[in-house]
Amino acid sequence: MFASLQRVGRALMMPIAVLPAAALALGLSVYFQTVSWLSWGNTIWEILGAGGNAVLANLPLIFAIGVAIGFTGGAGAAGLAAGVGYVILKAINDVSIITEATDGGEAVTVDMGVLGGILIGLLAAVLYNRYKDIRLPDYLAFFGGRRFVPIITAFAAIAVGFIAYFVWPPIGRVIDDFGDWIVGAGALGAFVYGLANRALLPMGLHH
């Protein structure tokens, strides 16, 4: 169990390594736009900031791909499968078709954030390790082996998205409420946060 959690921590390091570049681009963009003698380049600074924002806005997708690659020793097929899987998950979570088909109620979108990306990355890695050497009948041989991984991941992501539509909202509320409690609890909240952060250090999950 401990070794598995350490492996998760190592896999998370790849997407986390992208964050400093995004933060630097955003920081420089804001700073340069506040310096009067650099106002001639405001358009350039805005483009720089847009680049940083693009990374932060797509963190779940980046984590999905990074975790899948990290868990499979750099397998590109796993990264592609994770990307496909996350795009499908997000599309399902964003549409109202499930609500309309079940109870005709008001449309509700689900935002799993980075955790959704990590989940899909782990799913893609598991499916890659299981099906990377699969052999199909001769008339389907082209889709065998690693090419099969994005296909099976796509269908698995549909199932995950459907389940998440019903399961995730209460989980998300608990996470949000806990975060609000940490912020509003003052010294006690800081202690709980610090304790949890330190407890995750040996596994590399504190990031």
Q: Could you tell me the residue ranges of all domains in the chain? A: 2-203
The pLDDT assigned to 159 comes to 92
The CA distances from residue 12 to 21, 74, 81, in Å, are 16, 13, 17
The pLDDT assigned to 167 comes to 85
Q: Tens of pLDDT along 181-193? A: 777 777 777 777 7
Backbone CA torsion sign across 182, 196, 176, 57: positive
Percent of the chain surpassing pLDDT 70: 77
Whether residue 128 is predicted with pLDDT greater than 70 in this model: the reply is: yes
Q: How many whole angstroms separate alpha carbon 192 and alpha carbon 186? A: 10
